Structure formats: C-alpha cells, structure tokens
C-alpha cells in the first residue's frame, strides 16, 4: 500500500503559526485504521469518502451553533495514499468545528 501517515492538531487561535497546539494525534488509514486518534475507523471512513481531500470534509450541517467567536485552528500534515498533505483551517468556535469538520477532528 502507498505510504499513509498523518498527524492532526487542534489549537486555540487563528493561525497554526501563532497558536499553541492543544491536542495532537496520529492517524493511519492503511493497511488498517490506527493511531492515537480516539476513533480511527470513523475518521478514516470520512477521509476515504472525500479521497483524502480535507477541504471537502463536512460535518453535521443541521446542528446550529451560537455565534461566539473563540477560534480554533486545525491542521493535518503527512501523507495520504502517497501524496503529501498540508492542510489548515480556522473555525469560529468549537461548535462550528464539530458541525463542519466532523469525526476527523473530534479529538
């Protein structure tokens, strides 16, 4: 199988460069789901559904979130099916992080 190894982080703040990581997990999806991510199977299923394109991830769109600005920035780095991954996205607060990014960044 092609190389497959990711590290995901969540930090409090607007950009990865300036925000100190609160949490960081490893995630591997081949040959089998694993890593320190609390739900590798669910996370790998989500990533396979979007062919590893983190920007295409969607969460539970129906859930409403209160409009408090307390930003969290997530990153994904490493290799997915042999291709390098470098992804960063900022969410208004932890609720929008959950509803928009789903299981992959639930840790």
Enumerate binding residues for a copy of itself (CB under 8 A): 3-9, 16, 20-28, 34-36, 77-79, 82-84
Distance between CA 90 and CA 12 in Å, rounded? 9
Q: How far is the CB of 34 from a copy of itself (least distance, A)?
A: 7
3-state SS track over 30-70 = CCCCECCCCCHHHHHHHHHHCCCCHHHCCCCCCCCCCCCCC
Choose between 4 and 96: whose C-beta lies nearer to a copy of itself: 4
| Minimum distance from residue 61 beta carbon to a copy of itself (Å) | 29
Of 32 and 68, the one with the shorter C-beta distance to a copy of itself is 32
CB of 99 to a copy of itself, least distance (A): 24
Nearer CB in complex with a copy of itself: 7/42: 7
Cβ atoms < 10 Å from Cβ of 96: 20
Query: What's the CA gap between 105 and 58, in Å, rounded?
Result: 11
């Amino acid at each position: 199988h092609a190389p497959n190894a990711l590290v995901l982080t969540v930090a409090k703040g607007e950009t990865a460069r300036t925000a100190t990581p609160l949490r960081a997990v490893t995630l591997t999806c081949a040959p089998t789901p694993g890593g320190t991510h609390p739900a590798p199977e669910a996370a790998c299923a989500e990533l396979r559904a979007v062919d590893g394109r983190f920007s295409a991830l969607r969460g539970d769109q129906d859930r409403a979130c209160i409009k408090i600005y307390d930003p969290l920035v997530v990153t994904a780095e490493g290799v997915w099916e042999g291709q390098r991954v470098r992804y960063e996205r900022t969410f208004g607060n932890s609720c929008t992080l959950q509803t928009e990014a789903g299981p992959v960044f639930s840790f």
